[in-house]
Amino acid sequence: MADSLTLDPVDLEILRLLQNDARTTYRDLAAAVGVAPSTCLDRVSRLRRGGVILGHALRLDPAKLGRSLEALLSVQVRPHRRELIGPFVERVRALPESLSLFHLTGPDDYLVHVAVVDAADLQRLVLDEFTSHKEVARVETRLIFQQWSCGPLLPPGAAAT
Amino acid sequence: MADSLTLDPVDLEILRLLQNDARTTYRDLAAAVGVAPSTCLDRVSRLRRGGVILGHALRLDPAKLGRSLEALLSVQVRPHRRELIGPFVERVRALPESLSLFHLTGPDDYLVHVAVVDAADLQRLVLDEFTSHKEVARVETRLIFQQWSCGPLLPPGAAAT
DNA sequence: CATGAAACACGGTTCTC
DNA sequence: GAGAACCGTGTTTCATG
């Protein structure tokens, strides 16, 4: 079900180019790939319908918005039952500081990527929104020194050209 | 320097809407915010020039590309010196399995978000690309059960409307 | 290739300081 | 009176059948 869509080299090249700049026009895309613009449009529509392309996101600089400090919070939720973790997840997702949230294997159940103003703001966030809630058994905070984006996402075995 | 740009309510609303769908036209944007389309264009250009908007990214579904398993790898690099960590970072960024890479505080220096085919593929990745390299002192692998995106990124104090 | 729409540049106008 | 912000229009480029 996951890989129900067949991706030929043209699709792969389109995905690779659009990951560099999602605003590339179909005209430029067509010129780079070597097909007609209408074909490009068809391919992208098909990739969107097929769920390969989930959407177009804006990449923002949190520091430019006054959130100069980023951190990862490892959170243990105990007891780890559905009626507790559902509300926990929704509450964390709604926090203005939250960037993304993961449910993981291992001793720490959740990992939260947050962007805050400074260390004092981080302390406030951890105390008021995490450790003060009774379902939160433990929080471990790690600051992010630096982060990097990686190469384009491609299927296994696709040459990175 | 980070917050040199003043963001009024119109800018904030534009950022909020564009985070929902980065392909919203200036016309629709203008109608939603209540200003002229040309003004919208001016605002977005200013946000791009000011570095608030870093770019436009494509959101893809790794599972639909045949990478159905995601994991986080915590990596200790020892000794933690510049001449070792520079090449390590570049090597990890170039792996087709890597999605993002963080340099963190705490006992584990790096966190790598990877997308692989299955558990066997993950084992191969950890053994061949991490533990077999002499600068890698320790790797801890955690699988990702589920992940969530969070609300739009806004400056602290901005009402989430 | 043709049509309709969107992006973009420009000039006019108003409001504020 | 000077500056900035906003708005409407005209031209070019693009999406789409």
Q: How far apart are CA B124 and CA B128, in angstroms?
A: 6
Chain B residues inside the 8 Å CB shell of A23: 56
Q: Does A146 touch chain B (CB under 8 A)?
A: yes
Confidence grade of residue A2 (pLDDT, cut at 50, 70, 90) = low
pTM for the model: 0.94
Across the A/B interface, how many CB contacts are shorter than 8 Å? 210
**Are A150 and B100 a contacting pair at CB < 8 A?**
yes
Q: Which residue of B has its CA nearest to A152?
A: B96
For A4-55, write each residue's pLDDT tens digit: 678 999 999 999 999 999 999 999 999 999 999 999 999 999 999 999 999 9
Confidence grade of residue A160 (pLDDT, cut at 50, 70, 90) = low
pLDDT at position B1 is: 52
Mean pLDDT across chain B: 94
Mean pLDDT across chain A: 94
CA A147 to chain centre: 13
List strand residue ranges (DSSP E) for chain B, in order. Answer: 53-60, 69-77, 98-104, 110-116, 136-149
Looking only at the bridges linking them, the beta strands covering B53-60 and A53-60 are: antiparallel
Task: Give me the residue from A52, A96, A121 closest to B60, CB to CB.
Answer: A52
CA B156 to chain centre: 20
pLDDT at position A1 is: 54
pLDDT at position B158 is: 79
**Are A96 and B50 a contacting pair at CB < 8 A?**
no
C-alpha distances (whole Å) from A126 to each of A41, A129, A138, B158 are: 46, 6, 10, 20
Confidence grade of residue A3 (pLDDT, cut at 50, 70, 90) = low
Name residues of chain B where pLDDT drops below 50.
none
